[in-house]
Amino acid sequence: MSARDNVQIAPANGRLGVLIPGIGAVTTTFIAGVEAVKRGMAAPVGSLTQLATIRLGKRTDDRTPLIKDFIPLAGLNDLVFGGWDIFEDSAYEAALNASVLERTQLEALKEPLSAIRPMKAVFDSEYVRRINGPNVKQGSKMDKAEMLMDDIEQFRKSNGADRLVMIWCGSTEVFHRPGAVHQTLKDFECGLMKNDPEIAPSQIYAYAALKSGVPFANGAPNLTTDTPALLELARERNIPICGKDFKTGQTFMKTLLAPGLKMRMLGLNGWFSTNILGNRDGEVLEDPGSFKSKEETKLSVLDQILQPKLYPDLYKDFYHAVRINYYPPRGDSKEGWDNIDIFGWLGYPMQIKIDFLCRDSILAAPLVLDLVLFLDLAQRSGMRGIQEWLSFYFKAPMTAPGLYPEHDIFIQLMKLKNTLRWMRGEDLITHLGLEYYD
Ligand SMILES: NC(=O)c1ccc[n+]([C@@H]2O[C@H](COP(=O)([O-])OP(=O)(O)OC[C@H]3O[C@@H](n4cnc5c(N)ncnc54)[C@H](O)[C@@H]3O)[C@@H](O)[C@H]2O)c1
């Protein structure tokens, strides 16, 4: 610790185990990518922790280290991977199946990927309806939570992991609101014992992680840790958590553009977003229950950024719709269209069209890496509960109860970097800049 640090950051010594429920397209693209970068076969494009710099002090100070040199993060060579899936495929087979990366590239990574074989999953077809697989645990919900805790300890021992992080990259579960069973930790534990149908598989993983002292991130829109019971557990155990739903393709575009329209006080009549995608994620999202979870996180963004209550002349009653269509020929290569009807001076209408031919998992993989490394940093720094500074990565950032989330990606990045500056006792950057003109 340097004399200036605001928090005591334990060093990132030893191995960091990354545990992932769901060994599908995102997970295999993430792991294959890390293995490729480790072997010098590729650059970690899209990752803030690996490539971005951070300005320190005044603009005239010329201090802009890489983030990873400024703050102690686990190195890629120290990461070890494990996870769960309802299918028995190794990460190599799952990656071939996902067809995100080219076969020749995967061949070169066959050895490390084949070594990752999924543990038996906690699964409930009431929560993910379109798929089913054989690799699942049996027993009551409490039994399953205990089995997951055993898996975690086994993994810790057999991989010699000094620290662990869990990140949900499983399928999107059906939409549900917190019920009575989610109100307190006691209610939740009773619910596990009584097999309460309101407890989702992702919540059993999160519970097992938190009970085992493992930070938890949620890459999907499911409710998961966004409940009083699991928040209580995270705070009680001093464990950081964050979520929900990686901000990748269309919502990433939305949170780039919407703040700009608002900054210039341009009005909005409507924003119609539609997507086609053909991966397993797309197949699961065909189910109305899972789509509802996604729709909620995707729709929430514009209202918060545009603040129609503060700006009724510009944003009252704008029409906002989001559609996702499963279209198998496209695989992971999604196409997302946005038609945006805006208006300017004297109300004259204009249109913006976006056609984003993106690759979902290619956009998501670096976010998984950053979240794993930053959550581990948070844990080593004694930061507990919701990590709002990681909102940058999410479509529906978790916040303290009663607090609206910040969706503007430019504010989110400033919050993230200022948190790092604050941790190390550096001046926060306010962009006031009067000192240059004294
Ligand atoms: N790729 C993106 O850009 C992006 C962005 C935001 C959110 N997400 C979310 O990330 C998640 C993963 O996306 P993906 O494209 O890798 O999907 P995928 O369908 O390829 O992989 C998900 C995997 O989770 C497994 N699974 C489902 N329920 C499980 C359970 N209870 N326990 C263990 N495994 C389980 C499935 O068998 C599958 O292999 C999805 O929820 C998706 O909505 C992805």
Q: Whose CA is nearest to atom 12 of ligand 1?
A: 169
Q: What is the pLDDT of residues 335-350, one digit of tens each?
A: 999 999 999 999 999 9
Distance 21 CA to ligand 1 centre (A): 8
Measured distance CA(291)–CA(300) in Å, rounded: 14
End-to-end CA distance of the chain: 35
What one-character DSSP code corresponds to residue 227? S
Q: Quick one: pLDDT at residue 332?
A: 82
Ligand 1, atom nearest to 395 Cα: 6
How high is the pLDDT of residue 51? 98
Query: Residue of the nearest CA to atom 31 in ligand 1?
Result: 123
Q: How far is the CA of 24 from the centre of ligand 1 (A)?
A: 6
pLDDT beyond 70 at 391: yes
Of ligand 1's listed atoms, the one at least distance from the Cα of 285 is 43
* pTM for this entry: 0.95
Ligand 1 atom nearest to CA at 98: 20
Q: What is the mean pLDDT of residues 98-126?
A: 96
- The average confidence (pLDDT) of the chain is 94
Going by pLDDT thresholds of 50, 70 and 90, the confidence category of residue 181 is: very high
- What confidence tier does 1 reach under pLDDT thresholds 50, 70, 90? low
pLDDT at 433: 83
Q: pLDDT band at 289, cuts 50/70/90?
A: confident
Distances (CA, A) of 10 to 67, 71, 80, 216: 17, 11, 19, 19
pLDDT at 152: 98
Please say whether the dihedral angle defined by the alpha carbons of residues 24, 29, 30 and 34, taken in this order, is positive or negative: positive
Is-contact 100 30, C-beta < 8 A?
Answer: no
Res. 401: pLDDT tops 70: yes
Distance CA 23, CA 131 (A): 14
107 Cβ contact partners less than 8 Å away, ≥ 6 residues apart = none
Give the sign of the dihedral formed by CA 59, CA 61, CA 65, CA 70: negative
| pLDDT tens digits, 243-281 | 999 999 889 999 999 999 999 999 999 999 999 988 887
Q: How far is the CA of 26 from the centre of ligand 1 (A)?
A: 7
130-164 per-position pLDDT tens digit:
888 999 999 999 999 999 999 999 999 999 999 99
Per-residue pLDDT averaged across 301-317, rounded?
94
What are the percentages of helix, strand and coil residues in the chain, rounded to 5? 45, 20, 35
Any ligand 1 atom below 6 A from CB of 245: yes
Q: Check pocket membership of 361 for ligand 1, CB cut-off 6 A.
A: yes
Confidence band of 102 (pLDDT split at 50, 70, 90): very high
> What is the pLDDT, as a whole number, of residue 335?
92
Helices (H), 381-434: 409-423
pLDDT score, position 184: 96
Rounded average pLDDT over 368-372: 98
Residue-wise pLDDT tens digits, 37-59? 999 999 999 999 999 999 999 99
